[in-house]
């Protein structure tokens, strides 16, 4: 079991396809603060509310010098529909084999209605300009989350 990532750790490098199939790597984002948020599934109630929260605070996030990137196990077609449906102004990455979710320690065994399955635990990592983790939010509660993220970008 990998150790849990904490503030001050180097963020694990990744390269994943975005909603258009174009690869996005952490290296390519050096020099910017990155809000890397992992969410379970496109177009489900909690994930939609979270994505729309980031969307509605985009101006404040951008002013803080941050780039918002969402990651789920969904493929690019699902991401394209999700972005179009809610006018999401940020990149969504497809982690279809969960390799990046595992590297960040957010791929967990979950339990719904007594059925156990593996999936993403809603988590956000704020990564500084040098690629170090500045703040970690685990088991994110959607309400008020964007404000916590904005506070950590200051």
Q: Could you give the residue numbers annotated as active site?
A: 47
How far, in Å, CA of 19 to CA of 21, rounded? Answer: 6
DSSP H helices in the chain: 45-56, 58-63, 76-86, 99-103, 145-153
CA-based nearest residue to 93, from 22, 146, 13, 40: 22
List CB contacts of 63: < 8 A, sequence separation 6 or more: none
């Amino acid at each position: 079991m990998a150790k849990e990532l904490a503030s001050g750790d180097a963020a694990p490098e990744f390269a994943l396809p975005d909603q258009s199939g174009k690869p996005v790597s952490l290296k390519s984002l050096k020099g910017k603060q990155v809000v890397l948020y992992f969410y379970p599934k496109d177009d489900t109630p909690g994930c939609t509310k979270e994505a729309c929260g980031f969307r509605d605070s985009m101006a404040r996030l951008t002013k803080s010098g941050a780039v918002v990137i969402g990651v789920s196990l969904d493929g690019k077609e699902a991401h394209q529909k999700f972005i179009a449906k809610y006018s999401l102004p940020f990149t969504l990455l497809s982690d279809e084999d969960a390799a990046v979710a595992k590297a960040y320690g957010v791929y967990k065994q979950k339990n719904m209605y007594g059925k156990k399955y593996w999936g993403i635990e809603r988590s956000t990592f704020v990564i500084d300009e040098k690629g170090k983790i500045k703040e970690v939010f685990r088991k994110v509660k959607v309400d008020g989350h964007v404000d916590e993220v904005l506070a950590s970008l200051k």
